[in-house]
Structure 1
Amino acid sequence: MLEGSWQGKINLVYEYNEGKTKVKSAYHQSPFKLQRAFYPEGDDICHSVILHTAGGIVGGDILTQNIHLLSNSQVFITTPSATKIYRTQEKKAFQNIVIKLENNTYLEYLPQESIVFNECQYQQKMTVKLGDNSTWLAWEIIRFGRTARGETFTQGQWLNYTEVWHNHQPLWIDRQSLQGESNLFNEINGLASQPVIASLILISTDKDKDVIGEIRELINSQFSDLIVGVTTLQQGLLCRYHGYSVSEAKTCLTAIWQLLRQKYGKNSSNKSRFWQ
C-alpha cells in the first residue's frame, strides 16, 4: 500500500475555435497531470489523457475532476493505465467528477479499468450536466480484488454514484455499492464469484438514433457466450457486462463503442493507442 494521501484536482476547459477543438485552460494539482493533446482523427476531436502520477488511490485521498466542454467542442478522454484503489485501515478515499457539456458538444469519457483491492474504502460520484444537442458516451470497468493473486473482495466498501441531468431534470441516476462483509461477492444474487463488472452508457439530447437492435445483433453474433445486456434509457442506452475478464469486457465494450461511433459519424476504426 502506498503511504500518504492527496487532495488532487484537475480542471479542464475545451473550446472549438477556427475549426479545431483545443484545451482552452488546464489546471492540475498532484497527483493529476494532463498529457499534451493530440489529434489522430483530425482537428474536430481533441484526444486527452489524464494521468494519476501517484500510482494508485489510497485512504484519505480527495480527488476532483472538472471537465467543461464549451459549445461545439468534441473531446475524447482516457487514461494510460489501470487505476488501483488500495486497501486502507481507516480513512475512506473520495473522487468527485463533474462534467458539463454545453450546447452541440460531444464527449467520450473512457478511462481504463479500476482495480479495487480488498479492504479498500472508496466512494466516487460523477455528475454530468448536458446542454442541448450534446452527447455523453462513457464506460467504467471494475475488477474487485487482484484475482491473479487469489484475492477476493471480502472486506471494505465500494460506492459509486452517477447522475446525468439536462435543464435541471434527471435523465439517469445510478447507485451501485458493494460491502465486502456482506458475502455479496460470492452469493448468486451478488457477483457469484465473478469479479469484473462493466458499464457503457450513452446519453444524448441530440436526436434519437435507434441502435439497440444492432447492438443486440452484435452481442448475439460475437459475444453470445458472455453475460452482456443492453437496455434503453430515457434518452440513450445502457450496456452491462459481468464476468471474469477485464480484457473480455474491454473487447466487448470496444466493439459496441465502435458501432455507436458509426452512428454519430465518427471514425469507428480508431482506438486509443493506450488500449493496446
Structure 2
Amino acid sequence: MQMHPPPTLAPWRAALQLGFEQQAGRTVMRRLEQYGPLTVQKPLYPEGGTVCHAIVLHPPGGIAGGDMLQQDITVGSGAHALLTTPGAAKWYGSIGPEASQVIQLRVATGGTLEWLPQETIVYDGARARSQLQIELAEGARLACWDLICLGRPAAGERFKRGSWRQTLRIQRPDGTPLLLERALLRGGDPLLDAPVGLAGQPVMGTLLLSGQVDADTLALLRALPSAPGLRLGWTQLDGLLVLRGLAARAEPLRAAFTQAWQTLRPTLLGAPAIVPRIWQT
C-alpha cells in the first residue's frame, strides 16, 4: 500500500492599499487595491462627511504560520480617516514557519488618521512578527493604539511557547525618527512575570496621540478612573502623548484606552468623541 503525506495548506499572502483624500470638504476613499484575503467594508460616515470610517476585514479570521499580510494606508492633506476592525486579530500557534504583518501608515500635513484596531490575541505556540511604521508629516494628526494579549487568559492558556516580535516606528517623511521601539517576547520567558517586565499580566497596550497637553490636563488624565488591577502610565514626549497599560484581561484595558481617546479626541484631533458602532456589537 502506497503511503501519501497529508495535504498541506499554502500560507496566505495578502495585501491592502488604501488612500483617503479630501474632496469638497468630504473625506473620500480614492484608492482601494487588494490582493488575497484583506479588504474593507464600504466607507461609512457616522459623523457626517468630514470623517470617513472604514472597517478592515481579514476573512480567514486568524493568522497562521507562514502567512504574510501587508497594509499600506495613506491620508492626504485635510482628510480624516478612522480605521478599525470587527473583532480581535488572532495569531495561531505554529510548529515551524513564522507569520508576519507589516502595516505602513502615512499622514500628510493637515491630515488626520485614527488607527484603532481591536485587540490582538497571540496564541500559545505562535511565532509572529508585527511591524507598524508610521510616517507623520509636520502638522499631521494621529491617534493609534495597539493591544496585545499573550495567550488566552479566559481559557486558562498562558504564553509558554513561541515568540512575539514587534516593531513600532514613527518618523517624519525625511526619515527623522519620532519614536522607535522594538520588542521580543518569548513564551515562558521570566520577563513575562518579572516586575521590570509584564509583572505577570498577559495583556499589554500602547495608545499614542499626536500633540501636546499642559500639566493640568496630564494630571486630569492620570486621575481618570480605571478598573481595579489595571496598571496605566502616561508620558508626554515631544509632539506625542503616550499611554501604556498592563492588565489581566483585554476588556478593561480597551475600556481605559477608549475613555482616554474620548477625552482627548476633541482637543487633539478636532472632532467630537463618537465611538464606532462596530465596537458596540
Asked if Structure 1 and Structure 2 have the same fold, meaning a TM-score greater than 0.5 normalized by the shorter chain, the answer is yes
Q: Does 1:159 align with 2:169?
A: no
Q: Gaps (5+ residues) in structure 2?
A: 1-7
Deviations 1:78-127 (A, max 9, x none): 00000000000000011011111112100000000000001100011111
Distance in 1 (CA, whole Å) between partners of 2:19 and 2:206 is 26
Instruction: Choose the corresponding residue for 1:64, options 45, 66, 70.
Output: 70
CA positional deviation for 1:234: 1.9
Alpha-carbon spacing, 1:221–1:257, altered in 2? closer, same or farther (3 Å): closer
Distance in 1 (CA, whole Å) between partners of 2:190 and 2:116 is 30
Q: Does 1:168 align with 2:148?
A: no
**RMSD value over aligned CA atoms?**
1.7
CA contact (8 A) 2:212 2:239 kept: no
Instruction: Choose the corresponding residue for 1:220, options 220, 223, 233.
Output: 223
Look up the match of 1:261: 265
Instruction: Choose the corresponding residue for 1:249, options 249, 253, 267.
Output: 253
Instruction: Choose the corresponding residue for 2:126, options 120, 125, 130.
Output: 120
Count the aligned residue pairs: 270
CA contact (8 A) 1:141 1:199 kept: yes
Name the SS of the counterpart of 1:184 in structure 2: helix
Q: Does 1:180 align with 2:196?
A: no
Alpha-carbon spacing, 1:90–1:47, altered in 2? closer, same or farther (3 Å): same
The one-letter amino acid paired with 2:93 is R
Q: Gaps (5+ residues) in structure 1?
A: none
Distance in 2 (CA, whole Å) between partners of 1:245 and 1:70 is 36
Correspondences of 1:16-55 after superposition (within 5 Å): 16-55=22-61
Distance in 2 (CA, whole Å) between partners of 1:221 and 1:25 is 39
> Identity, % of aligned pairs?
31
CA contact (8 A) 2:94 2:127 kept: yes
Distance in 2 (CA, whole Å) between partners of 1:88 and 1:115 is 14
Look up the match of 1:231: 235
State the structure with more CA Rg. Answer: 2
Name the SS of the counterpart of 2:154 in structure 1: helix
CA positional deviation for 1:180: 1.1
Give the structure-1-normalised TM-score.
Answer: 0.93
Look up the match of 2:19: 13
CA contact (8 A) 2:40 2:56 kept: yes
Alpha-carbon spacing, 1:258–1:26, altered in 2? closer, same or farther (3 Å): same
Q: Does 1:143 align with 2:149?
A: yes
Q: Tell which deviates more after alignment, 211-220 or 224-233.
A: 211-220
Distance in 2 (CA, whole Å) between partners of 1:213 and 1:142 is 30
CA positional deviation for 1:214: 2.4
CA positional deviation for 1:177: 2.0
CA contact (8 A) 1:154 1:183 kept: no
Give the structure-2-normalised TM-score.
Answer: 0.91
The one-letter amino acid paired with 1:185 is L
